[in-house]
Structure 1
Amino acid sequence: MAMMPSLLLGASLSLLGIVTGIHVSVLLHDHRIGELRPNHYVAMHQMRDRTFRRVMPGLWMMTWLLVMVCTILLFAPGTARTLGGISALTLLVDMALTVTRQMPLNDQIQKWTITTIPADWSRVRDRWATHHHLRTALAIVAYACFISAALVWLGRE
């Protein structure tokens, strides 16, 4: 296998693994989030959201672009390209959910202060968690499909 395809595939797998790992790490971090008092939850969520707003857009776009490059330029038509395409499409659905569901909730939570936390704050928290669970499942599917595509492609090299 030539060096450039190896680098592209390695970078794609690595970045997609990081994105998927970030999704899963939030699930692990939040498994007992219901025990937090409102002010503690808001402080934690605001801090995490500020970090992810800086990191995730560039990381996500680079990941998606590399997945697309591998799918189009490396994977031959057939099983590998189909799996790569499913991975890329699943990542787009994840991003659409992020923009249409998660980010509006994040924006809402960012505006809260200790004195303005609404009475129904836990409903917002639970909606955010539900959407994040779906996004995590999509990220895992995307990663599994891309790993499978890479294995099919490597098996034919």
Structure 2
Amino acid sequence: MLDTLQVITIVVVGVMVGVEFAVAFVINRILDALPGDSGQLGRAHGGRMLGAVMPVWYVGSLVLVTIWAVAGWQQPGTGLVVTAGGLLIVSVIMSVLLLVPINNQAKTWTPENRPADWKRQANRWDRYHYVRVAVIIAAFALLAAALV
């Protein structure tokens, strides 16, 4: 049973990391290269779409890691799992305090109502997101190491 939980947790966290990595290093770069207002409109749409899914994914990942840590308390690697859980908590706190406030504004922007400094705000979101991606990659690596 613990083996199944570990595999499910690794897959869920790994796919989340992949999506967030793709947003940071692929999707946003593509959107930024589009002509006219297309990039800003794409970011707003992505903010609405992923903004609805990612909170469930982050919290769900944290719940799975917590269950793994509790169920495998006496197993080797539990310290790595607990540390990964701590990093996921950091990523959730970062999201709530730093990224969500920017995203909540940006997802409503259109070319007609966006603020003059919208690019600066998007760049600030990107910088915070890079740090969050590094944090969740570290958590994922710790979970993978805990299986070895």
Structure 2 residue 132 is matched with structure 1 residue 135: yes
SS at match of 1:31: helix
CA–CA separation in structure 1 for the residues paired with 2:54 and 2:119: 25
Shift of residue 38, structure 1, vs aligned partner: 6.2
Q: How does 1:55-94 map to 2 (within 5 A)?
A: 55-76=53-74, 80-94=77-91
RMSD: 1.7
Instruction: Count residues with an aligned counterpart.
Output: 147
What residue number does 2:95 align with? 98
* Runs of 5+ consecutive residues of structure 2 not aligned to the other structure: none
The percentage of counterpart residues that share the same residue type is 24
What residue number does 1:41 align with? 39
What residue number does 2:123 align with? 126
CA–CA separation in structure 2 for the residues paired with 1:91 and 1:57: 12
Rg: which structure is higher?
A: 1
* Runs of 5+ consecutive residues of structure 1 not aligned to the other structure: 152-157
Relative to 1, partners in 2 of residues 1:47 and 1:24: Cα closer, same or farther, differing over 3 Å? same
> 1:123-156: per-residue Cα shift (whole Å, max 9, x none)?
10110100110010001000001111121xxxxx
Relative to 1, partners in 2 of residues 1:127 and 1:98: Cα closer, same or farther, differing over 3 Å? same
Report the TM-score when normalising by structure 2. 0.90
What residue number does 1:154 align with? none
CA–CA separation in structure 2 for the residues paired with 1:47 and 1:98: 18
Letter of the 1:58 partner, please give it.
V
CA–CA separation in structure 1 for the residues paired with 2:107 and 2:67: 36
